Copies of this chain bind each other. A is one copy, B any other.
Amino acid sequence: MATTIKDIARIAGVSPSTVSRILSDKPSLYSGYAPETISKINQIAKDLNYRKNRSAIELVTKTSQVLGIILPASPTNFAQEIIAGIQKVASLHDIDIIIAYAGEDSEILQMQALKTISERSVRGILLLGITLSSTNAHFLRSTDIPYIFLSVAQPEPDLHFIASNDFDIGYQATNYLIMHGHREIAFVGADIPSCVGQLRLDGYRQALKDHHIAYRADYVIPGNWLYDDGIQAMNMLEKLPHLTAVVAGSDLVAAGVINRARQLQRRIPSELSVIGIDGTALCDIIYPQLTSIQQSFYEMGIKGTEQLIQQTNITSSYTQIRTKKGESVATRLSN
């Protein structure tokens, strides 16, 4: 059996609460005790090979050294970069992280993840790639736990976030292709009903409009940001012979578009230019190397965690986007 605080208290002849406080690593909690008591307790703990039970300590000290992360269940290829940023700041402050997965688009599974995290008296919650239903947002507010959304800008003003401006992403990706002489541009693989998808589509449409290019509904093929969505989109785009360029909703979608285009004997980039969104490590693995609108995922993790740890002034902000150049976009010389 593992040694408990009660064991130590019995041997030392003090109360369990005294032992908790002395072993808490928080001088403010044990400054009232005699130095001999403090050293005696520490010695007994050492002799008995005692390991802290954080639950017990946190109950006594009423402070939490844990941050909760809520992730969507479906795989992304950028969550790891955000978590690396979170991990970096958390380890500097000796704070642990708990991760719970929420289902995609399921109010019940979202609520389950929120409860899992909030019942563990975490110091703060980072919601990564998540949009909550209004019921769940109400629950989150009611927990009194500080929170911040990462990578998805939230529509309600009190739901603070650190994310890219998705309208700008859609605009910049489309504009980049237009600047390279393209006018027949598809927009594929995005989850249009989601905030992120709608904003990127709005940016795409605005870029077309600013260059007097007519919007065509058959050039927009929605999806769920996945590799297979790129494959499916390319199967449909095959029937549109004038198309010269594609804005893919994510790097994964772009990979699907490129690989399927190749099977269909359509050369990238000379016959079809493709731009991705995200700018992850995948861009170098894809052939040809992918041009992509790169988001600052690591920075989102860093900034979000710093704000939650400081808890002074949690605010929304946008992180930078930039064009990461690969070889998947060519200049269109003629029409």
- Which residue numbers of A lie inside 8 Å of B, CB to CB? 1-2, 49, 51-56, 58-59, 73, 75, 80, 84, 87, 96-101, 115-116, 118-121, 142-144, 227, 252, 255, 258-259, 262, 281-282, 284-287
Complexed CA–CA distance, A51 and B120 (Å): 10
Chain B contacts for A98, CB-based, 8 A: 96-99
Chain B contacts for A121, CB-based, 8 A: 53-55
Complexed CA–CA distance, A116 and B96 (Å): 7
- Contact (Cβ within 8 A) B1 A144: yes
What are 10 A-B contacts with C-beta separation under 8 Å?
Answer: A2-B144, A53-B59, A53-B120, A59-B59, A73-B87, A96-B100, A97-B99, A255-B285, A258-B287, A285-B286
Query: From residue A211, how far is it (CB to closest CB) to chain B in Å?
Result: 32
Complexed CA–CA distance, A87 and B284 (Å): 30
Residue of B nearest to A113 (CB): B96
| Contact of A100 with B97 at beta-carbon distance under 8 Å, contacts A51-B143, A227-B284 already known | yes
- Contact (Cβ within 8 A) A262 B285: no
Query: From residue A203, how far is it (CB to closest CB) to chain B in Å?
Result: 26
Chain B contacts for A259, CB-based, 8 A: 284-285, 287
Complexed CA–CA distance, A98 and B68 (Å): 9
Pairs of residues from A and B, 4 with the lowest C-beta to C-beta distance, nearest first: A55-B55, A287-B287, A54-B119, A52-B119
Residue of B nearest to A114 (CB): B51
Chain B contacts for A281, CB-based, 8 A: 75, 227
Chain B contacts for A51, CB-based, 8 A: 115, 118-119, 143
Chain B contacts for A116, CB-based, 8 A: 96
Query: From residue A194, how far is it (CB to closest CB) to chain B in Å?
Result: 21
Chain B contacts for A252, CB-based, 8 A: 285
Complexed CA–CA distance, A284 and B256 (Å): 9
- Contact (Cβ within 8 A) B80 A120: no
Complexed CA–CA distance, A97 and B262 (Å): 42
- Contact (Cβ within 8 A) A119 B80: no
* Residue among A100, A118, A119, A282 with most chain B CB within 10 A: A119
